[in-house]
Structure 1
Amino acid sequence: MPSYLYPSNGSFNLKALSGSSGYKFGVLARIVNYMKTRHQRGDTHHLTLDEILDETKLLDIGMKQKQWLMSEALASNPKIDVREGKYAFKPKYHLKDKKALLRLLDKHDQLGLGGVLLDDVEEGLPNSAKAIKALGDQIIFVTRPDKKKVLFYNDKHCQFVVDEEFQKLWRSVPVDSIDEEKIEEYLKKQGISSMQETGPKKIAPIQKRKKPGSQKKRRFKTHNDHLNGVLEDYSEGVPSKK
């Protein structure tokens, strides 16, 4: 879902939105952002639409907008869970406490799925900062090139001392000639999946189309000189007439 539907600062100026369409989506954005905020503070129970409008101080919207919210906007929103006519925020990961977070990271580690984005953890875990701090060195933070942080399970059973001689051998192996595609192909053969869905997306370069007729005709040297006068020329699709 686009980020403008639940901005992190929680501030909306509905009066500044022009037109009825802008007003409707402004109302939706305010509701989704509020549902996310209450989920993060631990209020995960479902609310009716009237309760939501009361808590977000949106009591002045008309019946037409309310019907749109119930039948379309909230019902089809990927960040809203609808249950028996009531609504709650739907994060990517439903995490109740720090133990649930540790189990998630451990599962990702065991399945070779890598880490979990901190943004997704903060979205789905109430009081996430407190839980992450309590886990301490049981998790590892890695910052991606796009500045987003990823959490990994720190499996202490895999920690061991590697002899310095082996470290030197490891560092001496040249990898400059190995591109990302070859690395990914090797990982797939080993049954290890990459984290492409959470990494920065790469934009493929636009290939210029070659103009018709721009390619030069390739000339081939013949070596059948002794068959001159016998072979026919099919280079143009039709045998040449003599």
Structure 2
Amino acid sequence: MYVTEDASNGSFNLKALSGSSGYKFGCLAKIVNYMKTRHQRGDTHFLTLEEILDETKLLDIGMKQKLWLMSEALNNNPKIDSQDGKYAFKPKYPLKDKKALLRLLDKHDQLGLGGILLEEVEEGLPNSAKAIKALGDQITFVSRPDKKKVLFYNDKHCQFLMDEEFQKLWRSVPVDSIDEEKIEEYLKKQGISSMQETGPKKVLPVPKRKKPGGQKRRFKTHNDHLAGVLEDYSEGVPAKKNH
């Protein structure tokens, strides 16, 4: 963080600080948006900083801001690609034409990665609207709850005819605004087990028995009825008594 000091009274000028910072990042945002726009219309070649400032009408920018853009801001921005002191827009999916888009969607489908957001396709594919229209039914759209559209590869090898009677049964089941718990409860009432129940059950490990500590082990003794007859011969055989 850079702090400016007002020479007139020695106090820190926070207003000037926030204004300077806001101006810098405002210029950066304008440059990134412009680079994205030119990429989308097909101008994907690299530009020098002077060319960018000229095309964005940022000719009054100071040398300090230029150094910041070249040394930090543009080089570290995830949406900007830099090569030999020149810059271009770097989309998530760099696509050259409609064939590249179709290959990308097909790859996502084969790997089970799902679809790709329309806004990400529009970001990386120049003249995307024209390319998407040309692909026709080779791709399909799905709208998410947040209104964002997702593109999927329309694999025609997976298409098959469904019996009309089965379609009627499928459409007759009311599942609108029903969560998973209610659906599971309905299936149980109909005598149908859910996938959650038919899956492999988790086997809990059997706890090991702890050995009792601090207790002496007791051994079972034998021949208790000879306790008064047995003698100790550890110190030699005793002499015979005279009767």
Both structures adopt the same fold (TM-score exceeding 0.5) = yes
Q: In structure 2, what residue type is equivalent to 1:155? A: D
Whether 2:129 is the aligned partner of 1:141: answer: no
2:161 aligns to what? 161
d(CA) in 1 for partners of 2:146 and 2:174? 27
2:52 aligns to what? 52
2:238 aligns to what? none
2:98 aligns to what? 98
1:88 aligns to what? 88
Whether 2:23 is the aligned partner of 1:23: answer: yes
1:202 aligns to what? none
1:34 aligns to what? 34
For residue 59 of structure 1, give the secondary structure of its aligned residue in structure 2.
coil
Q: How many residues are treated as equivalent by the alignment?
A: 166
2:76 aligns to what? 76
**Range moving further from structure 2, 18-27 or 124-133:** 18-27
Task: Please give the TM-score of this superposition, normalised by the length of structure 2.
Answer: 0.63
1:178 aligns to what? 180
Q: Which runs of 5 or more residues in structure 2 are unaligned?
A: 1-17, 185-194, 200-243
Please report how far the alpha carbon of residue 178 of structure 1 lies from its aligned counterpart in structure 2 after TM superposition.
Answer: 3.2
**Range moving further from structure 2, 20-29 or 150-159:** 150-159
Q: Determine which structure has more spread, i.e. the larger CA radius of gyration.
A: 2
For residue 47 of structure 2, give the secondary structure of its aligned residue in structure 1.
coil
Please report how far the alpha carbon of residue 165 of structure 1 lies from its aligned counterpart in structure 2 after TM superposition.
Answer: 4.0
d(CA) in 2 for partners of 1:99 and 1:177? 40
d(CA) in 1 for partners of 2:72 and 2:169? 61
For residue 180 of structure 2, give the secondary structure of its aligned residue in structure 1.
coil
2:111 aligns to what? 111
d(CA) in 2 for partners of 1:83 and 1:59? 23
d(CA) in 1 for partners of 2:170 and 2:127? 42
Higher relative contact order (CA 8 A, sep 6+): 1
Q: Which runs of 5 or more residues in structure 1 are unaligned?
A: 1-17, 190-242
Q: Are residues 177 and 131 of structure 1, via their aligned partners in 2, closer, same or farther at CA, if it must alter by over 3 Å?
A: closer
Q: Which stretches of structure 1, 4 residues or longer, exceed 6 Å deviation after superposition?
A: 172-175
Q: In structure 2, what residue type is equivalent to 1:103? A: R
Q: Superposition pairs for residues 223-242 of structure 1, below 5 Å?
A: none
Q: In structure 2, what residue type is equivalent to 1:20? A: S
Task: Please give the TM-score of this superposition, normalised by the length of structure 1.
Answer: 0.63
d(CA) in 1 for partners of 2:159 and 2:44? 38
Whether 2:61 is the aligned partner of 1:65: answer: no
1:194 aligns to what? none
